[in-house]
Structure formats: structure tokens, C-alpha cells
Structure 1
Amino acid sequence: MILPVIMAGGTGSRLWPLSRELYPKQFLNVTGELSMLQQTVARLSGFEHSAPVLICNEEHRFIAAEQMRLGGFEHGGIILEPVGRNTAPAIALAALQAVNNATADEEPILLVLAADHIIENEQAFKTSVDKALPFAQNGKLVTFGIVPTAPETGYGYIKSGTQDGDAFSVSEFVEKPNLETAEEYLASGNFYWNSGMFLFKASRYLEELAKFAPEILSVCQKAFAAPSKDLEFVRVDKAIFETCPDDSIDYAVMEKSKEVVVVPMTAGWSDVGSFSALWDVSEKDANQNVIKGDVISVGSTKNYIYAENKLVATVGIDNLIIIETKDAILVAHKDKVQDVKTVVRQLKESGRTEHKIHREVYRPWGKYDSIDSGVRDQVKRITVKPGEKLSIQKHYHRAEHWIVVSGTASVLNGDKTILVSENESIYIPLGTIHALENPGKIPLEMIEVQTGSYLGEDDIVRFEDKYGRV
């Protein structure tokens, strides 16, 4: 039985300011109504498989779980990486779980997918997986090579060797080339883009990992020796996992193993690694513009224009990327979008937060939007989902004023619990133990005004929390 393993880590810095560290591109709806993670799970409906296993960062766990729930998708658990250690250890954790959970007559075959890829032709995707399956069943490590359509310099390549039915042996993996080399690869006809998708038995991957990267396997086995369950999440030992080498599956195993084959795929694939790639796969108007949001475009062509919060108007511009969010604006030439990551690096170096977090922040109970802030005051719009509750907490440096805009709030304020309805307000004094809950059937919308000497999110002392954040 195929067990999909969906890697949902990463930060997608080249899609800033849409993608941030705490809400990266795999959770964004950039090419349709579903997020990229949801699209990845949805395309699995074309063949029989077990409930997919997700691998994601600790910080993204509630976003991943919520997106699976909203999409109506079942999953076989969400493995949490306490720290990022690249793809080889992440896949090792999934393989160990698969082997541990398998029955005696089962041999789980992992279909390893990234959560942030676009595949336009899902039938072609399924066909390639079907072609790869017999090779995986016979103990091969299958990688999927995308038939190139252009001399792309942003992808690594796989050089194919001898053909064996629907697969080829792998002559070599090569790094991202310059344009001249990429043109030679394209002309040769025996190079493929390295998709980062794989199919192999869980046991075979572990065997090859033991052969070529034994330290990675050893650390992962120790970290996974006694995994703990927390709601739908699977946790491994953080202190042990932190000692794991940081290495990709390509470097650790695929480039060294003699059991690797490549199956070609022509499925309209893109890793959406930049805004130019996003422009390529998006629907365009008569002027070849991709328009998202409230945009007026006059005499402008071949642009990607995204307006989240304000009207964006353009006159006489071409080949630009314009991204407007609530707290940032990006203007870049389409040929220079790979350098967006330089902006992100400068934000980090200057101690700013725009690389890490959006103005609107998602939490397991709902979300908040930081509307305004001053030296000693901050205003937020808070949305609490029906039946959800924030932690029982207190603050040392701030007091809070809550005004209910819609719905009903159940508020613990010191030793009293009070129902606060629309157009009513309540005051939470500094140092008072309090909690907020939505007991109703509709979302609770509130305005929160914070006042005090320090307004950071780390001024929270939690006493009880249904999401395990104490």
C-alpha cells in the first residue's frame, strides 16, 4: 500500500511578503481556492493509498492540522520536527513510523511529496506514480524527473542512463546550472529537472540510509525511540534530534545509492520557487497580467499584481512583480525575483519582524490582526472560532480592554466568569488571571485595546491551555 509522506516544512522566503516564516507558502492559496498543502493532498485521490503522514515544523502544527480539517482530509498523523534538519532526517522519521505501524504482512511504500509544488495535469502525475510502483516494489529508490520545457537555471537536474521499461538508471545528479549549461541539458534530451518527489519502500530507504548516512539513521532512531502523542501530533526527542546532521535526501542517499532509478513525468509541474514561476502557472488576462485583488491596470503587460488590502493601480509598466499586504509592499522586476531572499535576509539582520510574521496571525483558536500600535498601546481585531478557548493566562506589563463586535464571549476575569455580548465591553486589569472563550455557534469578533509598559507576545504566563502550550 502506498503511504503518502507530505513534507510541509520550509519558509518560502522568495515569495515574501506573501510567505513568512510563521505562515509560509505551502499554506497559501496562490493558485486557486485550496492552499498548496490542500492541493497536494487532493491530488492523491487518483489512486489507492493510506491516510497521508505530514511532516512539519513545530510552529506550523496547528495551521497544518486546521487546513487538513477544513479540506475534509484524513491523515495518519503529523510528525513534528523540533528543529529543521533537511529532508533526509525528516523522511527517516516518516519511514521509522511507517515500519513501526506496519503489520507483519505489510510493506509500506512511501510516496514522498513536497507540500508546495504545483501539478497541473493530475492524471499524468498518477500515470507516473503507477509506472514507478513496480520498481519501488522490487526494491528500487525511484525519483521522478520532470521533462524540461525550458533551460531553467533554478532547478537541479538528473542525467538519465540506461532505459529499463518506464524508468532509467541515474548517471548523475547535477546542481543548478548556468543558462548556457541548462540549454545544453535541454538540447541533449537525457536530462530531467529534479522534482524532489520519491517512491520507495520505507525499509529500503532505511537500509540505504544505514549504508551511506548511518549517523542520520542512528540519531533518528534514538529520537524516535519513544515518540509522544499530543492530540494528532507525533513528537520526537528534541535534544537528540538537534544532534542530527543536516542533509538532504539527494546528498545523503540518492546520489550514492546504486539502486536509484528515475521515472520521467510530464505533468505541468512547478515548485513555485519564485514570483516569476508563480506568474508562469497562474491564469492571465488579455494583457498577460496576473491580477489578484483590487487592481486597476492601464497600459501594463506581463505583470504579477497582488493587492491584499488596498487598491493598486498601475500605468504603463511591464514585467513587474507588485505585492501589497497589510504591512509590506514589494516591487521587483520579474527577472530579479530570485533576489527577494536578500530582502528577507536584511530584515532578519536589522532585527525586524516582517520576515517572520504577518500582521494577521493565525492561532489554533482563530486569528488576530494587529490594527495599530503605539509606544504604550496596541489595538487588535480578534476572531475566535465557535467552541474554542484561549489559554488561562495573565500579563505582568499590560491591561486589556475587550469590546465584542459580534457573537458572545465567555470571559474569565479573576474569580468571575461573565458573558459579554455584542456592543458590550470588559476590562482586564494588569496581573489578573483571565481567559476568553466563544461558547456560541458563530465566530466571535472582538476589538482588543492593550495598554502598558510592554506589549510583546512573550508577556503571557499560561496556567492552562487546551493546545498544549503551557
Structure 2
Amino acid sequence: MTLEVPAAMTHPIIVPVILAGGSGTRLWPLSREAWPKQFLKIGGDYTLFQSTVLRARAVELTAPPVIICGDAHRFIVAEQLRAIGSAGATIILEPQGRNTAPAAAIAALHAQQQHGDDALVFLMSADHAVDDVPAFCAAARIAAQTAADGRLTVFGIKPSRAETGYGYLKRGAPLGNGAFELAEFVEKPDRQRAEAFVAQDSYAWNGGLFLFSARVFLEELARIEAALPERSVPSTQDSGRTSATLFACRAALSAAKRDLDFIRLDAEAFSRAPEDSIDYAVMERTDKAAYVPMDAGWDDVGAWTYLSKLTQSPDGNYAQGDVMLEACRNVLVHAEGRLVGALGVDDLVIVETQDAVLVARRDRVQDVRRLVARLREQGRSEAVVHPVVHRPWGSYETVATGPRFQVKRIVVKAESKLSLQMHHHRAEHWIVVCGTAKVTCEGREFLLSENQSTYIPLGAAHRLENPGKMPLELIEVQSGAYLGEDDIVRFDDAYGRA
């Protein structure tokens, strides 16, 4: 169906709220727990997270974005925002993941505090892709007007295939401005039902995109949960009951602490919020839900088969990196470093990284999470970190390991520094490859330039700093009885980790 957008629409300010949690296990080995898919560049110049922020910025009358993420990813978020010039963004840290209903409540409460009762919240995930940004913005304009009229708006994504991995929405009666009543939420269907839904114009994918008035959402959350004993608590103001989610989130935000450029929600208060989705907690129970159709090439990038959207090859192949294909059809290859060759194979996904290679049939890529679960059970680092580990000051990469030694390549960003620290069980040798290093060791400061080196004795308090305008690169050789990353005592740290 064609989306009709009125020529002129007005609405209160929109606060884009981007949920940047999740581990993206289905895109392993490229996606890892410490660096999940939303922070990866997949088929574009920007990461999925950066693209989401830029897409939100394109919508009319938007405030600076609010990002909700976990503590482990806070510096990744901050750095990727800085790289696209997104000044003024607010980063709220969840002490633990509690699903989307508590995150939506925090977003609405924060928007209300900063922009007033009429503020609109545009809730979206950081790991989705959209091909047609103008169509996305057109749907957002209709949703904003609908939300300003007191509706809780969900976007119905025009389906391009019979997908059993998504929930569906059924469109109801028109509301007169391009939006519709929401007739029904449908859980993930089997193949037969999914094919029937795609054949009907009244069904669409539920892409997890919502736009609503902060005030209306909080009122509906309070009303619905107060009527459900299992998700309400005794009110402190009268003899009735109130929303458990709202009670916990108000307390978590009220007791939040400022940490550098981040807002840390109170962990104890936030842990009392029920772990519910926004669909279950509010949207399936409210009588204020509305539906806005969107046909903008949306995809949740939920599996490696997403790469097939990026190819125009007549044989259905996709290749990124140093790849050589011969007599292959429908083969998707992503190579990070080494040459990958494939000969005479069909319907495969091959992903190569420095420390892992995935080979899977295309119809089994949704099961990659099973491999990741087994890696976690065995305590394998490949489930959690990449060989290149990113830190707020730069990155390090393990080059070689052996009994009582380890070699790392360290890159320190311009005008950045590591913590003042010491190690109980290892000594270190530093060799500067390029740039200038400022070294502190046992109170003495000195500079090292290319091809110069120094020795950091076991137990010595030391710091590495890059005073220059270009990245500093050095080789670090560690030697000692124990070389784990947890053998570190921080005395002072610019990033609040001491």
C-alpha cells in the first residue's frame, strides 16, 4: 500500500531513544559479547548503531538522542557517537538488562524531565538496518502526529518474505491521517501462517519501533500494571497498588549517579523492575495503540543471510574481503584478513576472522547461537572478545603467546593515556613502532620515539601516554608467572576505572 503523508504536520519535540544492548550471537564470529553486531560495519561506511543515530537525526523536530546501553559498551557508544559528531547525546547505563519495558519507562521518565509532558519518545533498536531513509522519515512524521494525539504508535513493516522469526501486526480501521487502529499482535508464526500473512495486505512485521507521548505511555503503564497483582506493588500514597515497573524505574532514575559523560541508573532499584517487553507490558493491553505502515527496506540484521540483500550478483554470491569464488552459487563470504577460496559449493555462509572461521549452510544460520552457547559453556574467549580488544584509550591485539610470555600490539589514540597501574606477576618491555610515547615509571617521566624501548619491572607503578596528534603504536612483551588481564591494580584512571 502507498503511504500518504500530509504536506504539513506539526508535533512536539521527538526524543530518539536508541536501545544499544544485546550480544548479536547469530552474527558470530564477527559479533562478540564484548563487541556485538550493533557496533560493526556491515555493508556500509557506518556501524549499525551509527546509522541508527544518523537516521534518527534525519527525522523532523528531534532532540539530541538518548542511548540506553550496558556498562561494558559505554566507551564504544561514546566513541562511535563522537566519530559522527553527535554532540549532546545522553548515555544512560543499565545495571542489567531487564528487557524493553523498563528501558521504555526510563526513556519516558527522562524525556519528561528534560522536555516536558508533551515530549514524544521514538524508541528504536541500534542493530537494525533501513535502506530508504526518506520513507522512514515519512512514516515517523505520521507516527509523531498520531502520538501527539494521544496514541501509542507501533510501526508495521511491510514484509518482503514469509518470516517465522518475527512477530506480526494486524492493521485495523483507518484513523484518517495515514495511521490505523492496531487490531492484533500475533506471536511468531509457523511457516504456513507466515505465508498466509504475507499474502494479506492487512498484516505486517512487528519491527520493535515505537513512537509515543512520554506522558501517555507512563499513564498507560501505571494503569495496566496497577490492575495486575503480579506486576504491581503497594502504593506509598494510598491503599491501592501502583506499577512495579514505574516504581522501580522512578527510583533508579532518581538515585542515578553521574559518571564522566554517563548516567548510571541505581542498580538495586532497577533490579526490582519486572523483566517484560514493551509489547507484553503495555502495547498488547492498551486501548490507545495505533499502527503506522512503513515500507523502507527494514531488516533486523538477525543472521548472516542479511548479506544476500547487499549483492547484485546473478549467481547470488556475496564476497567481502580477500575472497576467490569459482563455480559457486548463493555463497556468502566475509573475510577479515586471510584469503578465502571456495570451489564448486552452493548455499553456504563462510565467515573468516583472525581467530575463528564459520562455515554453515544458509538454511542453518539461525542456529549459530548454539555454537556460541557451547563456546561459553567451555569458557572459550572466542565467544566474548575479538583478538583486537578495544579500550577507551585505543586497542590491543595479542600477537603471540607461550609459556611465561605474551606479545601484544598496542595502539594508543592521540592525546590519550592508560591508567597509572602496576602488576603483581609480570614485567613488560615496550618498543615504540611509530609515534611518541610518554612513559611514567616509579615517578620518573620520559619520552620514547620510534625504535626506542624501555623496561617496566614487576611491581612498578607505571603509565603509558600518547602526547601527540597521531596514533602511538608499540609492541609490548610481557613475561612472568601469570599474564591474565585481571593482574592489574589501578591507582589513577581518566575513565573512572581506578
Q: TM-score, normalised by structure 2?
A: 0.92
SS of 1:94's equivalent? helix
SS of the counterpart of 1:206? helix
1:113-171 residue CA offsets vs partner (Å, 9 max, x unmatched): 11111110111111111111221001100000001121111111112222222122222
Return 93-102 or 111-120, whichever deviates more: 93-102
What root-mean-square deviation, in Å, do the aligned CA atoms of Structure 1 and Structure 2 show?
A: 1.2
Greater CA drift, 44-53 or 261-270: 44-53
Residue 55 in structure 1 maps to residue 65 in structure 2: no
Match of 1:380 in 2: 408
CA distance in 1, matches of 2:191, 2:219: 37
Q: Flag structure 2 segments of 5+ consecutive residues without an equivalent.
A: 1-12, 226-242
Contact kept, 8 Å, 2:308 with 2:318, in 1: the verdict is no
Displacement of 1:295 in angstroms is: 0.6
Would the aligned equivalents of 1:62 and 1:363 in 2 still touch at CA under 8 Å? yes
The 10-residue stretch of structure 1 (278-287 or 380-389) with the greater mean CA deviation from structure 2? 278-287
> What is the aligned counterpart of 2:183 among 171, 178, 191?
171
User: Residue 309 of structure 1 corresponds to which residue in structure 2?
Assistant: 337
Q: Which residue of 2 aligns with 1:18?
A: 30
Once the 2 structures are TM-superposed, how far is the Cα of residue 92 of structure 1 from its aligned partner? Answer: 1.2
Question: In 2, Cα distance between the equivalents of 1:442 and 1:176?
Answer: 50
8 Å CA contact retained: 1:377, 1:451: yes
Which of 114, 125, 129 is 2:136 aligned to? 125
Question: 1:76 Cα shift?
Answer: 2.9
Are 1:260 and 2:273 an aligned pair?
no
Q: Classify the secondary structure of the residue corresponding to 2:212.
A: strand
What is residue 27 of structure 1 aligned with on the other side?
A: 39
Q: How does 1:290-309 map to 2 (within 5 A)?
A: 290-309=318-337
Letter in 2 for 1:158: L
Q: Which amino acid aligns with 2:494?
A: K
CA distance in 2, matches of 1:467, 1:37: 22
Amino acid of the residue matched to residue 252 of structure 1?
A
Name the aligned partner's letter for residue 139 of structure 1: G
Query: Is it true that 1:270 corresponds to 2:299 in the alignment?
Result: yes
Render the CA deviation track for 1:361-415: whole Å, top value 9, x for unaligned.
1110001111111232111110000100000011111111111000011111112
- Distance of 1:375 and 1:136 partners within structure 2: 62
- Corresponding residue for residue 249 of structure 1: 278
Aligned partner of 2:18 in structure 1 is 6
Q: Is the 8 A contact 2:308 2:316 kept in 1?
A: no
Secondary structure in 2 matching 1:188: coil
Structure 1 SS opposite 2:395 = strand
Aligned counterparts of 2:101 and 2:155: Cα–Cα separation in 1:
17
Distance in 2, matches of 1:120 and 1:415, equals 55
| Aligned counterparts of 1:190 and 1:237: Cα–Cα separation in 2 | 43
Separation of aligned partners in 1, 2:399 and 2:187: 44
Q: Give the TM-score normalised by the residue count of structure 1.
A: 0.97
Q: Could you tell me how far 1:227 is from its partner in structure 2?
A: 2.1
In 2, are the aligned partners of 1:365 and 1:388 still within 8 Å (CA)? Answer: yes
- 1:49, 1:75 → 2: CA distance? 12
> Counterpart in 1 of 2:492?
464
The number of aligned residues is 467
Distance 1:50 1:225 in 2: 22
Given the alignment of the two structures, is residue 225 of structure 1 paired with residue 254 of structure 2, yes or no? yes
In structure 1, C-alpha distance between the alignment counterparts of 2:51 and 2:298, rounded to whole Å: 13
Matched, 1:188 2:217: no
In 2, are the aligned partners of 1:54 and 1:75 still within 8 Å (CA)?
no
Residues in 1 aligned to 2:202 and 2:390: alpha-carbon distance in whole angstroms: 45
- In structure 1, what is the Cα distance between the partners aligned to 2:308 and 2:98? 31
Match of 1:420 in 2: 448
Cα pair 2:308 2:332 within 8 Å, conserved: no
Give the deviation of 1:439 after TM superposition. Answer: 0.5
Give the Cα–Cα distance (whole angstroms) in 2 for the partners of residues 66 and 286 of structure 1: 39
Q: Secondary structure at the match of 2:381?
A: coil
CA contact (8 A) 1:323 1:331 kept: yes
How far has the Cα of 1:46 moved from its partner? Answer: 4.3
Per the alignment, residue 169 of structure 2 pairs with 158
Map of 2:96 onto structure 1:
83
Q: Which position in structure 1 is the counterpart of 2:390?
A: 362
State the SS of the aligned residue for 1:372.
strand
> Which residue type is aligned with residue 420 of structure 1?
L
Contact in 2 for aligned 1:79/1:94 (Cα 8 Å) = no
Unaligned runs of 5+ in 1: none
CA distance in 1 between partners of 2:399 and 2:219 (Å) = 53
Deviation at 1:455, TM superposition (A): 1.2
Secondary structure at the aligned position of 2:199 is classed as: helix
